[in-house]
Structure 1
């Protein structure tokens, strides 16, 4: 009877703690998404209203023409198409390459395998800026600086160490009987990988796809260098420069362009977040 009474007395305290925690998390969540909300609000204001309103989120007049100006005058229709092409192609190449590398490193032991893993981990500490010069020089010598194909190969040629290690950890945790059964059935290395291992790694593939998609969509330095001589090759991240003039900056147009560029990423993550979490959890558990 005393235990039940103590539980009854503790209920109000538990509810108070729950409401306090919920309020703190709600406030933290609002602070986290406030910059995006403010950018959406700024995209519907004039440039003068943006500076006069400060942190005010309610526009005096909804200026939808900012989106039309960003889409047509700012050439964001072309930049968005370029970004989709580059991002999708880069993601496919990276997923295939990292899956193969992760499968070999996770399932096979060969002389120098630990050295290869060590070198991959060491490349994480190499700043990205150091790799731009050799990548650009190689692209110039191969004649790949004037097309999207060169940009795709340059972006897809990154080390992607995290993706390889995620695949390696996942494949290492799969039962060896799967490969033994496929060998008994006469399956080759490629058939085992394509028909058995790769379908089993769909959660990891979703995770790597999202990470690569986000990285490529937001990439700036390489797309900037590749599009210096040809503005038609710009991606959305580089295209923001179109709103910065010598004497003035179209802040409202830039905000509208920012919303256009970030909405696809938000939509993708909303639909793929479950697979992203499952992939990370599966790789860590393995």
Structure 2
């Protein structure tokens, strides 16, 4: 063996050894990613199986025969066509209200200093430690007094009326990092508070708006307790999370139908995050940096 061949082999081994930690890291992350998404993959697989296959197949992901009727049963018999529409209406309206309210609150807290501003922020942070269950009774009482308990409008106001502290703080951190020259130029042009906010500051905060929108979308779409209470006497108002109960019978549970309903309910979330993940990351990074 020549010296040149030995030298080439030595350099190749050195490069391979120097890159080996990266290969180990990639392999580890791949395994962790598979473990992370395995429940969703298993649910998709279970939605195409029979009940016997689900309990007898273990962790096997390949159905013997594709049971597409599970989706038909979930969509028609399980009434998920109505539940999905209700969820879309409630979620879109809640996101719009929360974004408008939190953006205004975050803009004021991030750009203005007034007596008691630190106290307001402290109270907002303190509400993070209040369990959600403690607020259901007063919300139901107020909604009952206003005649909104059995209406989608009441459900929307109840879901959108929370403190949303994280969203407000994200907006406040982002607005605090914006240059003051933007507001000064708007004032010179004769713009007031609302015009400056709506035409200048809010459009510039689109990454944060996407982040808050996604977080609110996830929270509202997966909400269970409030939609359960508001639709208790009117099943037609159920959302997808509450509608899962339709597959739980008195003596048995339709597991394939429930899995198909779960896939239907999760698919919009997966699609939304796939398209909005770049803005979500930018918004979080911008708020933390500020």
- Residue 234 of structure 2 aligns with which residue? 230
In 2, Cα distance between equivalents of 1:158 and 1:14: 52
Q: 1:30 aligns with which of 34, 41, 50?
A: 34
- Residue 224 of structure 2 aligns with which residue? 220
- Residue 106 of structure 1 aligns with which residue? 110
Q: 1:273 aligns with which of 270, 277, 280?
A: 277
With the length of structure 2 as denominator, give the TM-score of the two structures. 0.95
- Residue 72 of structure 1 aligns with which residue? 76
Per-residue CA shift, 1:163-185, capped at 9, x if unaligned? 00000000001111111111111
- Residue 47 of structure 2 aligns with which residue? 43
2:174 is the counterpart of 1:170: yes
Per-residue CA shift, 1:74-99, capped at 9, x if unaligned? 00000000000000000000000000
- Residue 212 of structure 2 aligns with which residue? 208
In 2, Cα distance between equivalents of 1:69 and 1:197: 48
With the length of structure 1 as denominator, give the TM-score of the two structures. 0.97
In 1, Cα distance between equivalents of 2:40 and 2:109: 40
Q: 2:287 aligns with which of 272, 276, 283?
A: 283
1:182-261 map, 5 Å = 182-261=186-265
* Root-mean-square deviation over aligned CA pairs: 1.4
In 2, Cα distance between equivalents of 1:165 and 1:8: 52
CA-CA distance at 1:12 after TM superposition: 1.4
Q: 2:143 aligns with which of 108, 128, 139?
A: 139
In 2, Cα distance between equivalents of 1:116 and 1:162: 14
In 1, Cα distance between equivalents of 2:215 and 2:138: 24
In 2, Cα distance between equivalents of 1:250 and 1:97: 41
Unaligned runs of 5+ in 1: none
- Residue 61 of structure 1 aligns with which residue? 65
Per-residue CA shift, 1:264-285, capped at 9, x if unaligned? 0000000000000000000111
Unaligned runs of 5+ in 2: 1-8
In 1, Cα distance between equivalents of 2:124 and 2:11: 54
- Residue 132 of structure 2 aligns with which residue? 128
In 2, Cα distance between equivalents of 1:107 and 1:24: 44
CA-CA distance at 1:187 after TM superposition: 0.6
Q: Where in structure 1 do 4 or more consecutive aligned residues deviate above 2 Å?
A: 5-10
In 2, Cα distance between equivalents of 1:10 and 1:185: 64
